Amino acid sequence: MTRSFLTTQNTFVNAIKDPRTFNSSDAELTRRMKIYQSLFFNNIDNFVSTGFPVLKSIVLKLYGEKGWEGIVRQFFIEHECRSPYFAEISKEFVEYLSTEPSFDIALPTFAAELAHYEWLELDVSIRKNQKNADFYNQDDVVTAVRVSPYASLAAYHFEVHLIGEDYIPEQPAQEQQFYVVYRDRNCNVQFAHVNPVTAILVNTLEQNEQGMKTDQLANALSQQLPQIPSNVLENGMNETLTDMLNKGILLPVF
């Protein structure tokens, strides 16, 4: 590509992303450019709005439509998306918020965490079906387990599942909050708000993608949680495994 073509291309892209950079006395050229600007921005806005309905509702309540439009516009202008797929726009938006960009409005401090939680629900819902991902049946004899490919553990400072228009916290929770977002056997997206010990259990299994035998898992947990008596820990582990197998968070390994 010639330098002049690259310059023209960059000017065109910048004009689409940020209308303030475009200035022309040609009425027809201006009309055409406005069409491009509207098409691209509305596409981005639609994907972001659909992916983050709770975050959008809070911004609308606090700052109105212009507040939300300003966030999406700034994301469109500043963030260089690495993926060409529209389905990845939500993930790119989460990454953008994680950099703590400065907006004209003051986003709630939980915005990045809430966005990640909402994105995770979307991500789990569209994960491709995998072979040999068989859910637990009541008559299965389970000696080894693994985390479902349709489940993910996440940790936040805020109780993100409670946040909404009617609950906009100013301070984080007193303790770190753990969640497992998962797709059940009926392909419905669910979440489990779990305690720190259960989070350690799930994280341990996530580090072993092929799964672990239950006695190996019990030993690994005992090493990580020496303050809990082994019999208490093992009993709690067995109850948790049964619950998570029934929910579809964990899968049996045969």
- 182 vs 139, more confident: 182
Closest to 161 in 3D by CA, of 180, 139, 146, 134: 180
Tens of pLDDT, residue by residue over 115-174, are 999 999 999 999 998 888 899 998 899 999 999 999 999 999 999 999 999 999 999 999
pTM of the entire predicted model:
0.91
Rg (CA), the chain: 23
What CATH code is carried by the domain that includes residue 246? 3.90.930.50
- Alpha-carbon distance 122 to 248, whole Å? 17
Amino acid sitting at position 247: K
Question: Among 1-10, 48-57, 205-214, whose mean pLDDT is lowest?
Answer: 1-10
Q: Where are the alpha helices (DSSP H) in the chain?
A: 3-17, 27-51, 53-78, 89-98, 111-126, 196-206, 214-224, 230-247
Residue 169: how many other CB atoms lie within 10 Å: 14
What does the pLDDT read at residue 1?
54
CATH of the domain at 46: 1.10.150
Alpha-carbon gap, residue 200 to 226, rounded angstroms:
13
Is 135 inside any structural domain?
A: no
The band of 26, judged by pLDDT with boundaries at 50, 70 and 90, is confident
Residue type, 46: N
* pLDDT of the residue at 86: 79
Return d(Cα 76, Cα 20) in angstroms, integer.
13
pLDDT of residue 2: 63
* Per-residue confidence band for 197, with pLDDT thresholds at 50, 70 and 90: very high
Residue 138 lies in a domain: no
The pair of structure tokens assigned to 83 is 């993926």
Which of 85, 107, 129 corresponds to the end of one domain? 107
For tokens 């390994």, name the residue.
253
Nearby residues of 126 by Cβ (< 8 Å), 6 or more positions away: 87
Residues 9 and 96 placed together within one structural domain of the fold: yes
- Asked, for residue 114, whether it belongs to a domain, the answer is no
- Residue 4: the pLDDT is 77
| pLDDT tens-place string over residues 230-250 | 999 999 999 999 999 999 999
> Do residue 153 and residue 248 come from a single domain?
yes
Q: With cut-offs at 50, 70 and 90, classify the pLDDT of residue 21.
A: confident
Q: What is the mean pLDDT of residues 59-66?
A: 97
Q: What is the mean pLDDT of the chain?
A: 94
Q: Does the pLDDT of residue 45 top 70, yes or no? A: yes
Residue 32 one-letter amino acid: R
Asked whether residue 243 is domain-assigned, the answer is: yes
- Phi-psi group of 100: left, alpha or beta (phi > 0 → left; psi -120 to 50 → alpha; rest → beta): left
Residue range(s) defining the domain that contains residue 35: 3-107
How many structural domains compose the chain? 2
